[in-house]
Amino acid sequence: MTRMLVRDAHIHEMPSVGDLRVTTYVGQGLLAGDSDYVPTLHAIGASGDGTVLVAVDGDEIVGTATLMPFRESSEIALSAEETEIRALAVAPAAQGRGVGRLLLRAVVDRAARDGARHLVLSTQPDMVAAQRMYASEGFARLPERDWSPVPGLGLLCFGLRLS
């Protein structure tokens, strides 16, 4: 394995980043391949409305996460002091190698550097390993902010205060 690093995604990489997200979510049974959400998941951050980070191992993109600053259409951020972490995904072949934690720490660092005061994220109840990682990195459950984007899919919210 080469030295893994996290960097901003290049615009020409956005289709591959979207493919990685969709492949990961569908492959883990977190999203149906014919879901109406597939195009949204694929396109997160592609229009420049967020900061898309990628974890790369050599020339291969092995994971991604996106920071979305508050805007009127935010899903869980409630004010300008909050930034959402969206679409954290690790390629199936790279799971278990610390890629998710590396990405999470990178987005926390970037958000703090960019002036965010509170990071928020949603996760599916079945994503138990991700929830353990969030808790171990200082994120706290925000059950009062749990929500459901579509009937039958409840999402759990977590948050991290930044100094």
Q: Is the pLDDT of residue 36 over 90?
A: no
pLDDT recorded at residue 150:
74
pLDDT recorded at residue 2:
61
Q: Which of 61-65, 73-77, 122-126 has the lowest mean pLDDT?
A: 73-77
Q: Is the pLDDT of residue 21 over 80?
A: yes
Q: What percent of the chain has pLDDT over 90?
A: 79
Strand 60-69 vs strand 82-90: parallel, antiparallel, or unpaired? antiparallel
Concatenating the DSSP letter of every residue in the chain gives: ---EEEEEPPGGGHHHHHHHHHHHHHHTTSS-TT-TTHHHHHHTTTTSSSEEEEEEETTEEEEEEEEEE--TT-SS--STTEEEEEEEEE-GGGTTSSHHHHHHHHHHHHHHHTT-SEEEEEE-TT-HHHHHHHHHTT-EE-GGG-EEEETTEEEEEEEEE--
Q: Average pLDDT, stretch 111-121? A: 96
* Domain map (residue ranges) of the chain: 4-161
Would you say 120 and 143 are in contact if contact means Cβ atoms under 8 Å apart?
Answer: no
pLDDT digits (tens, 9 = 90+) for 44-53: 999 988 999 9
CATH class of the region 4-161: alpha beta
Q: How confident is the model at residue 73 (pLDDT cuts 50, 70, 90)?
A: confident
The residue among 38, 40, 39, 51 whose CA lies nearest residue 11 is 51
pLDDT recorded at residue 31:
87
Tell me which residue has tokens 């799971």. 95
pLDDT digits (tens, 9 = 90+) for 74-86: 889 999 999 999 9
Identity of the residue numbered 89: A
Which residues make Cβ contacts (< 8 Å) with residue 108, sequence separation at least 6?
Answer: 119, 137, 160, 162
Q: Is the pLDDT of residue 26 over 60?
A: yes
Q: Is the pLDDT of residue 103 over 80?
A: yes
Q: Is the pLDDT of residue 38 over 60?
A: yes
Averaged pLDDT score across all residues of the chain: 93
